[in-house]
Amino acid sequence: MRINRNYLQLPENYLFSEVAKRTREFQAHHPEMPIIKLSIGDVSRPLPAVVVQAMKQACSEMGASKTFRGYGPEIGYPWLRTAIADFYQKQCGVKLEADEIIISDGAKSDLSNLLDIFDPQATVAMCDPVYPVYLDTNLMLGRRPKFFRATNANNFLPMPNESVVADIIYLCNPSNPTGVCYNRAQLQQWVDFAREHGSVILYDAAYACFVREPELPRSIYEIDGARECAIEICSFSKMAGFTGVRCGYTVVPKSLVTADGVSLHQLWQRRQSTKFNGVSYIVQRGAAAIFTEQGLTAVAKHLAYYQRNVQMICQTLDKLHWSYVGGKNSPYVWVRCPGMRGAWEFFDFLLRETGIVCTPGIGFGTAGENYIRLTGFNSYANTRAACRRLLDLRQKKKR
């Protein structure tokens, strides 16, 4: 039996599986300690009522002969793609054609599946620290990526240079895990670099909905030339609570073509129509409801809820005099481990002393060795309790 032996090069457990495993083991030995998770980026607010109502209506339609639907368009129903295109136009002045938007079951899947349309020998560059899916899916194909390191020295916003010339460049903006955000001028440098070297940028915009400062971009297509070099991947998971529902989309501009005239849009559409039967009608009706007036109002309230949590975390870190970045235009806070402890060491310490679960930065790459990631996605009550525990920890140390 021949297997893909590249899988043997991966860590035994996916990062968040390892975090969950260690947390379960701790709980088994310390059942008296209430656990508060500020680790995985899973949301806590329920689906907006207008989304639930739309999905209920869709369920009813599926139960009647006259309105039943079987296979839908693999790239998504036109009414959802049009709603997304209209949203781009209103939100950031970006004009997209509806059929440049291809609906999927989420950003994680697309970030992996997009690799199908590139040459197996394509070179890849990505940030360190990095969302593990970027790295692991390339390791599965036998690729050894180049890295541009995000450190305190470059304000965690590495810029392009000749050492990271590659066929595929991953950018996540706002960043997961550091929570920082490139401005327009910085993104322009990345776009210019990609066009100069014939690279394609895979632009992960899953957290663009958290950008609050108007001068910061929410889409790569706000940048001149991006339509000729960038694919944008988006998700409704954090925006509208779809982590358990699964829906997202990827934008592949028709003007994105290879030097010999091959359309990446056509390749991606061909890939999806072959390997994917599309997102369910019920889920897509729910997704379309996000872009109604009611839906956008509900989404804004949910985002404000999480931003309030993040602000509370940052205020607590300020009181503790712990160094951090992120949190302002992102649900994530990237925290320097006090005393320059190792990430897993500090993970264990924080869990043992406070019952707080964080994500160790080393799980995102070597540049995360002395960092942890905290999220604002838990409930307000739990986030407040976690912040109190952190402040109590300071008092314990004084005693």
d(CA 275, CA 1): 25
Residue 11 is predicted with a pLDDT of 82
Who's near 120: CB < 8 A, 6+ residues apart? Answer: 141, 142
pLDDT in tens, 11-49: 877 888 889 999 999 999 999 999 999 998 899 999 999
pLDDT score of 107 more than 90: yes
CA distance 117 to 175: 25
Q: How far apart are the first and last CA of the chain?
A: 61
60 and 144 inside one domain? yes
d(CA 362, CA 373): 10
Side-chain-side CA neighbours of 63 within 13 Å: the count stands at 6
| Predicted local distance difference test score (pLDDT) of residue 398 | 54
What CATH number has the domain bearing residue 132?
3.40.640.10
pLDDT at 177 over 60: yes
Full domain range(s) for residue 224:
49-292
Q: In angstroms, rounded to a whole number, what is the distance separating the alpha carbons of residues 76 and 355?
A: 43
Q: Which of 237, 264, 292 is the last residue of a domain?
A: 292
Task: Give every strand in the sheet of 168-172, ordered side by side.
Answer: 101-104, 248-251, 230-235, 200-204, 168-172, 124-128, 146-149
Does one domain contain both 135 and 267?
A: yes
**Orientation of helix 15-29 relative to helix 343-354, angle to 10°:** 30
- Per-residue pLDDT for 391 more than 90? yes
pLDDT at 396: 65
Residue 125, phi then psi, degrees to nearest 5 = -130, 140
Q: How confident is the model at residue 340 (pLDDT cuts 50, 70, 90)?
A: confident
Same domain, 103 and 208: yes
Residues 88 and 168 in one domain: yes
- In this predicted model, what pLDDT tens digit does every residue of 112-150 receive, in sequence order? 999 999 999 999 999 999 999 999 999 999 999 999 999
Whether 389 has a pLDDT exceeding 60, the answer reads: yes
Do 339 and 255 have their domain in common? no
Mean pLDDT over 249-261 rounds to: 97
Instruction: Tell whether 209 and 159 lie within a shared domain.
Output: yes
Same structural domain, 281 and 319 = no
**Which residues are registered as beta bridge partners of 375?**
332
**Mean confidence (pLDDT) of the chain:** 96
Q: Are residues 175 and 288 in the same domain?
A: yes
261 and 330, same domain (yes or no): no
Do residues 39 and 59 both lie within one domain? no
Look up the CATH number of the domain holding residue 301.
Answer: 3.90.1150.10
pLDDT of 394 > 80? The answer is no
Residues 284 and 338 in one domain: no
Q: Which of 292, 323, 354 is the endpoint of a domain?
A: 292
Mean pLDDT of 375-397: 91
Looking at residue 40, its pLDDT comes to 86
Determine the pLDDT at residue 17: 87
Confidence of residue 339 (pLDDT cuts 50, 70, 90): confident
Give the pLDDT of residue 397. Answer: 60
**Same domain? 346 vs 276:** no
Q: How many domains does the chain have?
A: 2
The answer to whether the CB of 236 falls within 8 A of the CB of 205 is: no
The residue-averaged pLDDT of 361-375 equals: 96
Domain final position from 292, 326, 353: 292
Evaluate whether 197 touches 168 at the Cβ level (below 8 Å).
no
